[in-house]
Copies of this chain bind each other. A is one copy, B any other.
Amino acid sequence: MKKVLKPQPMLFPMPAVLVGTYCDDGNPDAMTAAWAAACCHKPFCLGVAIRQNRLTYANLKAKGAFTINVPSTSQAEAVDYLGIVSGRDRPDKIAVAGMEVDKGEVVDAPIISSCPVNVECELIGELEIGSHTWFVGEVKHIRADEELVEHDGTLNISDLDPLVYATSVAQYWSLGKPVGKAFNMGKKIG
């Protein structure tokens, strides 16, 4: 039996990431976002939904670039802080959170280098929806903590230990265990 829930933007799981942008004055900002996804293969793109009253929105419009930084569960407190506090009120919020910052290698956006994975994106599209705009960035550069990178160039997901966001309960979660190989385990059927 099913129960009807009130409409909400419900999806499980979502990533909890940091969106890095530069302010007008060159100060780096980072905002926590869970409404992000890969969204194109040619070219390789990530997208993120940003509310129009956010500092990140203004920065993105002005600079045309952003970074997506994937944190570990050990960084959950800092990640949550960066989602609660605006760079408009605390321009030093990244330092207060204990996070380190670097210049992007390729795009005009800061990397939150304390995060194990940093993806640099150049803005190539946007869609105004309502309260939020979906920003699409072409992936221009990725770097990851050396000890996470396997010989074949993939990442060790267990060691990455990415932070997961669960809507409905507004909780951060960890990843569990591998369930199976994609484009493979379904071949047993049909």
Residues in A140-190 with C-beta less than 8 Å from chain B:
140-146, 149, 153-155, 157, 160, 162-190
User: With an 8 A cutoff between CB atoms, is A81 at the interface?
Assistant: yes
Contact with B along A74-98 (1 / 0, CB 8 A): 0011111111110000100100111
How far, in angstroms, from A13 to B146 measured CA to CA in the complex?
Answer: 20
Known pairs A170-B181, A179-B171, A183-B80; A10 contacts B139 (CB<8 A):
yes
Q: What is the chain B residue whose CB lies nearest that of A38?
A: B9
A34 to B37, CA, bound (A): 8
Type the 1/0 row for A119-154, where 1 means its CB is closer than 8 Å to any CB of B: 100001111011110101001111111100100011
Number of interface residues of A (CB under 8 A): 108
Are A168's CB and B154's CB within 8 A?
yes
A180 and B34: CB pair below 8 A? no
B113 touches A2 (CB 8 A): yes
A–B Cβ pairs within 8 angstroms, 29 of them = A1-B145, A2-B143, A2-B144, A4-B143, A5-B153, A8-B44, A9-B45, A12-B117, A37-B37, A38-B167, A40-B49, A40-B129, A41-B130, A43-B129, A76-B179, A77-B189, A78-B189, A79-B186, A84-B186, A85-B190, A90-B190, A96-B189, A134-B134, A157-B173, A164-B175, A166-B175, A172-B182, A173-B175, A175-B176
